[in-house]
Amino acid sequence: MTQRYAVIGNPIAQSRSPEIHAAFARQFGHDLSYERLLASPETFTETVRGFVAAGGRGMNVTAPFKLQAYALADTLTERARAAQAVNTLRFGSDGILGDNTDGVGLVNDIQQHLGFALAGKRVLVIGAGGAVRGILLPILQAGPARVLLINRTVSKAQALVHAFGELSRVVPGEKLSRAAVGNGSAVLQAGPLDAAAGQCFDVVLQATSAGLKGQGAPLADFRLGADSLAYDLAYAAEPTFFMRQAMARGAARVADGLGMLVGQAAESYRLWWGVSPDVRPVLAQLEAAR
């Protein structure tokens, strides 16, 4: 019997998720349908509940509904709770499970697909919005030596450090706030956009919503180590403003968020079907169609 899945968002016509999930299903011979659902904040809940009533098994959630999906879920995974946002819903007899696969999708893309181990690395994250909250736990769990969060509004970066740090300490007036996270070996810090000036990083993640537009995008000052990766969570047909900026600074490797998109879809697929699809042929297919 065909199993029904969907992605919900606004706008939604641009979503690549139907073709990604169809490609995963072909790898296993699964019989699924995967549709796009357009909703408004007012119709989001009834659209989800209507899909469940019609036999839907699961749903991906994209902008601007990740917070509403978080509120709607009956139970949450640890990483969804940490993110305070949900991009994957699973419908079962025990109600609606909310998960967040964005961070694992990013970390898998960086570590498995691009071959950059994050353990022991110096990581700079530009931005402190919903996207960063979604990825922070899996990044910290990968064991970096240091994660510096910089943001135009420094209080938002500091709030994330508080939320994610086991031992957080913000000294009023101090430029950086620090928190030791997890086993204490990783250090999470927050600062304004200029806090990275003159410092060297192995991985720089561009996670602001201004990244695509170029104009007005934050021009953070940072240096890159010899074997460095600059990664823009956004993706576009052409290299983004941030990727060009990083190349000019000698980044060994640059990437955009297409791999993260396929990675988060693969993790959703695993939650729904219990198997991990091979992301490489699907990513190659999307790359070819850019």
Tell me whether residue 66 is one of the annotated catalytic residues: yes
Piece of the chain touching ligand ATR by CB under 6 A; list 1-9, 108-116, 123-131, 195-203: 123-131
Report helix, strand or coil for 104: helix
Instruction: Please identify the residue of the shown chain whose CB is closest to the bound ligand ATR.
Output: 129
Beta-carbon contacts of 85 under 8 Å, excluding residues fewer than 6 positions away, are 66, 67, 69, 70, 100, 130, 133, 134
User: Binding residue for ligand ATR (CB under 6 A) from 62, 151, 158, 206?
Assistant: 151
Which residues 156-185 are close enough to bind ligand ATR by CB under 6 A?
A: 156
Q: Which of 244, 249, 242, 208 lies closest to 225, judged by CA?
A: 249
Q: How many residues bind ligand ATR (CB under 6 A)?
A: 14
Strands (E), 127-206: 146-151, 167-169, 177-181, 186-192, 200-206
Pick out residues in 199-228 that bind ligand ATR (CB under 6 A): 208-210, 216, 218
The alpha-carbon radius of gyration of the chain (Å, integer) is 19
Chain residues 226-265 in contact with ligand ATR, contact rule CB under 6 A: none
- The secondary structure element, H or E, covering residue 159 is helix 154-164
Does 129 bind ligand ATR (CB under 6 A)? Our answer is yes
With CB under 6 A as the contact rule, the residue among 128, 142, 149, 224 that binds ligand ATR is: 128
Residues designated catalytic: 66
Q: Where does this chain bind ligand ATR (CB under 6 A)?
A: 127-131, 151-153, 156, 208-210, 216, 218
